């Protein structure tokens, strides 16, 4: 089974003992295209796993990542660096990503009035990709997920909503424990992940029903 064909409530381990992401970058909302191009004749294994269409959670997280990516990024950062002493770095990362995201969007819009702004827009987008690549690479290596730095950068540059959705799904399934004095950080980010984490056997609401 591939990562996109496996049960959704578990972290997959490959032959080299590396975990597979439950939702590949080309999965999630992109499953709609497979459904359309196959005229609804999706492979039976994918239908059995509920992967013939994106779930409501995947669609929601995709649009969060597309329009307000700093929100899911903040939620991922809390899982990646949960200690209070790491809070400043988390806020710097999230604010920088949010500012550069807004910057490149605005600059590309303004290229109609000043074509020279396009280069600055691409620069801001590139910086955003570097920030998200660092987050995903750190997350991947910290929790032993399969992948490579080049793939992380390309996906962070062109498919950043999918990357954020992918990381959010993994954050929900990881068994992460926090000290009592770490709980205020989770409340400030409003991540919805309980201190003490979710065990892999727990039910995850994001996979309840496909759209």
The answer to whether 43 and 62 are in contact (CB under 8 A) is no
CA distance 200 to 81: 20
Rg of the chain taking only CA atoms, in angstroms: 18
Q: What are the structural domain ranges in the chain?
A: 12-191
Cα-to-chain-centroid distance, residue 155: 11
Tens of pLDDT, residue by residue over 102-154, are 999 999 999 888 878 999 999 999 999 999 999 999 999 999 999 999 999 99
Q: State the pLDDT at residue 2.
A: 46
Residue 41 has which token pair? 């004749």
Q: State the pLDDT at residue 203.
A: 39
The answer to whether 169 and 22 are in contact (CB under 8 A) is yes
pLDDT < 50 regions, the chain: 1-11, 177-211
Q: State the pLDDT at residue 104.
A: 96
Residue 40 has which token pair? 């609804």
Q: What is the pTM of this model?
A: 0.73
Half-sphere exposure for 65 (CA within 13 Å, toward CB): 28
- β-pair type (12-13, 19-20): antiparallel
């Amino acid at each position: 089974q591939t990562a996109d064909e496996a049960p959704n409530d578990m972290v997959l381990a490959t032959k080299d003992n590396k975990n597979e992401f439950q939702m590949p970058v080309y999965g999630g909302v992109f499953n709609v295209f497979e459904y359309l191009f196959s005229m609804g004749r999706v492979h039976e294994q994918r239908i059995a796993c509920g992967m013939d269409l994106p779930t409501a959670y995947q669609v929601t997280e995709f649009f969060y990542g597309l329009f307000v990516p700093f929100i899911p990024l903040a939620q991922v950062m809390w899982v990646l660096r949960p200690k209070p002493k790491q809070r400043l770095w988390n806020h710097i990362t999230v604010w920088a990503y949010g500012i550069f995201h807004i910057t490149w969007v605005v600059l590309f819009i303004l290229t109609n009035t000043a074509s020279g702004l396009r280069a600055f827009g691409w620069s801001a987008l590139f910086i955003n990709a570097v920030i998200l690549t660092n987050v995903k690479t750190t997350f991947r290596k910290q929790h032993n997920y399969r992948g490579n730095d080049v793939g992380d950068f390309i996906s962070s540059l062109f498919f950043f909503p999918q990357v954020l959705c992918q990381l959010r799904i993994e954050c929900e399934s990881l068994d992460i424990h926090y000290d009592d004095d770490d709980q205020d950080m989770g409340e400030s980010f409003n991540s919805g992940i309980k201190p003490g984490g979710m065990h892999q056997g727990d039910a995850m609401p994001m996979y309840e029903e496909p759209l």
